[in-house]
Structure 1
């Protein structure tokens, strides 16, 4: 299965490494006959709270963004997380997998069964983003951690309100709390 990967928006600093891991991820998806989208535009960014993000343009095209934190550390485990994140985001391009529901988990389990070193999950459990984080906040409902290295508006709001801040928590929404809003407390 031939993929059209557009890397026009990637700086020279990351492009060779990203191309290598995207090619490897494409081969894994092909080998497992996963119907991922074939027309992907790749981006990179530096963000504390996400390792990757998939935005579906239509039924045939998607944009995938990968956190540049992966290119800062060169140990083997970090590279396995990078490959896992790329595959995780590619799974989101499959019809019916735009969330972390049963269909998505079917493909995650397929990859995990065939590639024991990848450890795909709903959320990436690596500690990569924690290495440099100056501020860490924890959802009091689901336990999700939010990492920030600068005083963005969210951090200022949390610090000024002694942690009485909210974020939309899908677990809270699922169990009937209004709008899925829960308090976030300072963790570090």
Structure 2
């Protein structure tokens, strides 16, 4: 998979070459998760990621879907991505980013806590973009465009007051840019 197909995820990584996933400084081997996926048990695979990497539901589903996408299992990735409640994720991200956004002058609040929230945002929005790419590969162009639109709508909702220049992360910009490219 080329970099143009999938936005990089800084705090959340799937590395198929070493068969491990990482989040928030914790790594785990993918063998258990992949075995559960191969058995068709998405819920157990998602639960293993949540427990092993201290993720919430949407983050675990997003990472699991990305793993399936990287493995070339487009239909499996779609099944996983369909389980993401984007509206719940948007609300959680709005609350999290609103509470932790550093002030414009000085940085009295924890920058690292904000960074983790932004990485979670990137992970979920990246997953929705990969869902769009999966739909596109299956020839479902209208549905792919709808998912791209949902990425753009989510960014607008999450950052309704704008994003200070110092907080714009390259990964988020890449995801939005890729989503726009898929629109008809």
With structure 1 as the length reference, what TM-score do the two structures score?
0.29
Which structure has more RCO (C-alpha within 8 Å, separation ≥ 6)?
2
1 or 2, which has the higher strand percentage?
1
Rg (Cα) greater in structure? 1
Higher-helix-fraction structure: 2
